[in-house]
Amino acid sequence: MEKKSLSIEYCEYSNMEELPADDRILLQKAIDATKGSYAPYSRFRVGAAVRMSNGEIIIGANQENAAYPSGLCAERTAMFYAHTIHPEDRMEAIAITSVDPSGNMLPTITYPCGACRQVMAEYENLAGTPVRIIIGSTGAIKVFDGVSSIMPFIFDNLIKK
């Protein structure tokens, strides 16, 4: 037996003004995207914004449904649409946040769920370059340089490498 460990690096910013300009713009788009959230059941409004290699920013918001599993997270709503309309472009970055009823970011970070991380990992593999992840709250903004920082062991048996 050999005990092994992983270390994860990320940058933490205390507010949006500290962020590099591209990250700040993307996070603001994620905040704006929450206006399209449909969350009558959880009342938990999440927004995501994906920046593609062509510079375009695609937004998504969580969409709930009375038949619960039929809904979809903000992150996958944005990523699936981004790839649908730009299948030839790479996903460069994604920003994620959740807001209160007034539209202000929550004080605690909303991390992507496991399914969204898996989807991010596959688009990162497709891109061939790391996808930057910006997760915002009023308490802290965390920036990860690639999906492996938040999802180190993905299911990749079927992914062409």
Q: Nearer to Zn ion by C-beta: 58 or 73? A: 73
Q: Does 116 bind Zn ion (CB under 5 A)?
A: yes
78-84: Cβ within 8 A, 24+ apart:
78/33, 78/48, 78/49, 78/50, 79/48, 79/50, 79/116, 79/119, 79/120, 79/123, 80/119, 82/50, 82/52, 82/58, 83/123
Directed axis angle between helix 74-85 and helix 114-127, to 10°?
30
Token pair recorded at residue 63: 């969409």
Site string for Zn ion, 29-68 (x = CB under 5 A): ----------------------------------------
Q: Does 150 bind Zn ion (CB under 5 A)?
A: no
Among 19, 27, 57, 73, binds Zn ion (CB under 5 A): 73
Q: Nearer to Zn ion by C-beta: 26 or 120? A: 120
Q: How far is CA 118 from CA 17, 113, 142, 154, in A?
A: 30, 9, 19, 6
Give me the catalytic one of 12, 18, 56, 75. Answer: 75
Q: Active-site residue 122, yes or no? A: no
Site string for Zn ion, 117-136 (x = CB under 5 A): --------------------
Among 113, 129, 156, 159, binds Zn ion (CB under 5 A): 113
- Binding residues for Zn ion (CB under 5 A): 73, 113, 116
